[in-house]
Amino acid sequence: MSHLKKTVQILIVMLLTGCSVAAEFPSLGQGQMSGRVTENTVILQSRLTKGTELIEGDLPGAEGTAYFQISRREDFAGSFRTEWMDASRDCDHIIKAKVTGLAPATRYYYRLVYGPDRKNTREAEACTFKTLGGEGKVSFAVVTGMNYFFFQEGNYRKDGGYKGPDKHLGYPALASMLKLSPDFFCGTGDTVYFDHPAGNGDRYTGLAWSDRAKTEPEMRRKYHEQFVQPRFADLFAKVPTYWEIDDHDYRYNDCDNTSDKEPSPQLGRKNFREQLPVVDPTNADALTYGTFRINRHLQIWILEGRQYRSPNKMPDGPEKSIWGKNQRAWLKKTLLASDATFKILVSPTPLIGPDDRGKKDNHTNIGGFRYEGDEFFQWLADNRFDKKNFYICCGDRHWQYHAIHPGGFEEFSCGSIVEENSRLGVKAGDPKSTDPQDKIKQPYCVLEPIKPYAGFLIVTVTPGDTKNVPIVEFALYDEDGGLRYSQKKNAR
């Protein structure tokens, strides 16, 4: 029998028996998201997957091809599109594109058109974002501590993690956040935890080092298990994102760029740029820090706290830095240039605290990076930013607080989004704190008798009250959407 006749017979048998001759169709198990929105640009991202559920703890990628379709109308009339992009193993089957030429202050709709090949495609559900600019009320969420292992299994002290029947949907705080309809989402780092579950040699025992993520496939897997949770897809379909990186999603707890411990700093940087919409995928030199003029009254600063940092064990002084000389100079220059009513620094780590005394990881820590932090607050005072509506929002710390620096500058900590990853805070004046002399004021902090809880921060800027004075509100919520603390500030 000839090869052609044999092939025809096989195809006939497959058709008669109901077997498909088409290539396996990919899924979008991690949804779609937009990031780094400006007045005229956005980065769109999705990932082609094999199904929508974890298989042996991972969500495999799928080969295929796709493009993004964008329109000002929800029915996609008058739409335009990106180029075709291939989902390959080299890029973890991620489809990502920077879209330019957008109009300011405009609502856009987008969707992925995808399939195993260009002749066999489907249209994904419509998602949305709004470009920056314009007037009116605006709000954003600030989040940290997305420890998937603690949520699923517990934090080595509590058994079993989250107990709710909706566990399969992911973090309850995401649903509560969506109900508040923020205009955008700021992830301050610790988006995933490469170093959990922890192994022998850490302060936790009972698990092997092999459970930690050290290689690129293991690091990618952390994002797959995280973003397969449906509540992430629901939120990001409507809320654009800005992302920072911190220790747990860079390398490991309190890491710097020293030591041969895996994963390497190079792999940490590569993974961050690959897995999240933070830089143009075609620009290898694109910076991960930046400032964004949201509208007339609000400008935010997104920082990089790991890539440029000095060794943690280096003696503190003028040469020791978390930000690096170039980023620090850029930060000061852009702050001075801003005429936004409210200027909000979104930092992966705290600048005021207080924090635990024994750490050497952030600007509050004695013997850590205190010199750079003190120099920055002196610079702010010298340039009268105490009269320029400057505020700090930070992640990293696992409790919510509102703290006031002796110079009058204020910081709001968003707390951990996972209850099993939360703890009581550090009291100002505690000898074991970074503020043993009790110089920091604490209008709010999760201290006894308050029990640790999961939560997030919502920042809202309104153009004005009856007296037409712009207002910023910092509101701390728990994972059920309960308001725990709120502070409103009139523009000076």
Q: Could you tell me where the DSSP H helices lie in 142-254?
A: 148-153, 172-179, 216-227, 230-236
Residue 88 pLDDT more than 90? yes
The model carries a pTM of 0.93
CATH of the domain at 61: 2.60.40.380
Residue 204 pLDDT more than 70? no
Residue 20 pLDDT more than 60? no
Residue 128 Cα distances to 53, 77, 310, 354, 472, angstroms: 24, 15, 39, 39, 25
Q: What is the pLDDT of residue 199?
A: 61
- CA gap 85, 114 in Å, rounded: 9
> Which residues constitute the domain of residue 111?
44-130
Q: What is the pLDDT of residue 210?
A: 52
Out of 67, 98, 130, a domain closes at 130
Residue 150 Cα distances to 222, 296, 417, 419, angstroms: 13, 40, 11, 9
Same domain, 106 and 202: no
Same domain, 311 and 216: yes
Residue 201 pLDDT more than 90? no
Residue 3 pLDDT more than 50? no
- CA gap 6, 22 in Å, rounded: 19
User: Stretch 169-182: mean pLDDT, rounded?
Assistant: 98
Residue 61 pLDDT more than 60? yes
Q: What is the pLDDT of residue 235?
A: 98
14 pLDDT band (50/70/90 cuts)?
A: very low
Residue 336 pLDDT more than 60? yes
- Please give the single-letter amino acid code of residue 119: K
CATH of the domain at 182: 3.60.21.70
Same domain, 348 and 254: yes
What tens digit of pLDDT does each residue of 223-254 get?
999 999 999 999 999 999 999 999 999 999 99
157 vs 348: which has the higher pLDDT: 348
Collapse the DSSP code of 167 into the 3-class scheme (helix H, G, I; strand E, B; otherwise coil) and give the result.
helix
Collapse the DSSP code of 351 into the 3-class scheme (helix H, G, I; strand E, B; otherwise coil) and give the result.
coil
157 pLDDT band (50/70/90 cuts)?
A: confident
Answer yes or no: is 345 within a domain. Answer: yes
Residue 43 Cα distances to 37, 68, 90, angstroms: 7, 11, 19
Same domain, 263 and 237: yes
Q: Residue 50 forms beta bridges with which residues?
A: none
Same domain, 190 and 331: yes
3-state secondary structure 417-461: CCHHHCCCCCCCCCCCECCCCCCCEEEEECCCCCCCCCEEEEEEE
Same domain, 340 and 260: yes
Out of 75, 102, 130, a domain closes at 130
Closest by CA position to 149, among listed 94, 78, 221, 98: 221
- Looking at the 3D structure of the chain, how many domains does it have? 2
Out of 107, 130, 153, a domain closes at 130
